[in-house]
Structure 1
Amino acid sequence: MLSVAKVQRRNAWRYYVRGVAFGDGRRPVGQSLKGALEKAGLPPGVWMGRGLAALGLTAGQTVTERQMELVFGQLRHPDADRIERELLAEGKSPAKARRATVLGRPIEHNRSPKTDKAKECIPWLGMHLVFRPPPTAHIAWALGDDETRLVLELCQDIARDKALEWMGDAVAEIRWKGGGKHRARVKDGLIVAVFRHYESRAAESKPLLHDHALVSIRARRPDDKGTWGNLSA
């Protein structure tokens, strides 16, 4: 089972950093994401998708809180801080150093052409996919022994990974040429942060095996320069 929601600017993305990344709860103020996950008995989030190669990341690497902020809050490279420091050390201006870390069009340049005044739009930053097993498998996972749970978790992994791979290879299209009216397949693939959870967000914390997959709205166009643009949401 799959549900889809959009991640937007302003405070929406903070919900995913402070809540979803932690386990559908409210992480205590001042507690690191790593420490909160360890205390809650949850595995760390991991990066997935073929689009990671363009960023110098590999599938399976741990997702840090700062990377979440950069990718899903600012549409920048997950290692933007390091890149910016290196460019400043080379003598680049702060503005140029920052611009080099932005994936495509800066979000502060999003303006609405339909009004006389430059009114800020609320751009999409990503898509939030939630993968849940069917009810029968979920019940078997919740009530079964350790071996049964491990097998069903592996099935969940396979189903999620194949679905994300199919989306990146056969479904995902990117705005390209003609004012964004034309579409093309992405050059690489998707950039995804995945978090595994074991309970529902209900107050009684009922067992519920599921995965949250945050897909960045940015991907590379199939041109020689590999420019960045928005997925056709």
Structure 2
Amino acid sequence: MKILFEDNHLLGIEKPVNVPTQEDVSGDPDLLNLLKADIKERYQKPGNVYLGLVHRLDRPVGGAMIFAKTSKAASRLSEAVRSRNFDKIYVAVVRGTPPQAKGRLIHHLLKDERTNTVSVVPKGTPSSKEAILDYSVLGASSLDNELTLVRVELLTGRSHQIRVQMNAIGCPLYGDQKYGVAQNKPGQQIALWSLYVGFPHPVTTEHVKLISLPPRELPWNRWEEELYTKALTQS
């Protein structure tokens, strides 16, 4: 597993696709326990290893992700998330073209725990949560004009947020078998990638930047790598 950042307080990695972030009903090996085992082996640590989960990525999503190696770091990073001092930038390949080249999406989302699905509901719906993201179009595919590469910056962290909100404007994610099943084929890998995670270090307060570029395979390789790098500085 590619390590993007590590010190005594933090562990930043590139999450592989199709690995659950934490233990779930599938019983498949999960990222949290895999990393604990890795730390235990690399540092010959006796007993249990602490690793705090600060944010999550859906199972089929890959890219930059940070974990806390101490409870103090976990608490301070969680506070950074709550105070929106924790930046998360994604790239996604969507079907169709968003109605505007850039914009802010605000929806209210309700999760059905029984089916693990999220839907857009009217404001004020009991148990619903406000979801906000900013998006901008990076470019259309020269090989398939039905595909568009977008940059997404999350301002809230709701379950399945990007997938549901982009689908709500008529642009389901490439490969999304849950929210874009009518336009995607079975077996296609969802095209959503955690490009950047940035936050103040919980101890030193220096700004930590984790960067992970998507793999050079379909559909990501339909755009030049420089475009992904450009997305890091675009506002």
The TM-score with structure 1 as length reference comes to 0.27
Q: Which has the higher strand share?
A: 2
Structure with larger RCO (C-alpha < 8 A, sep 6+): 1
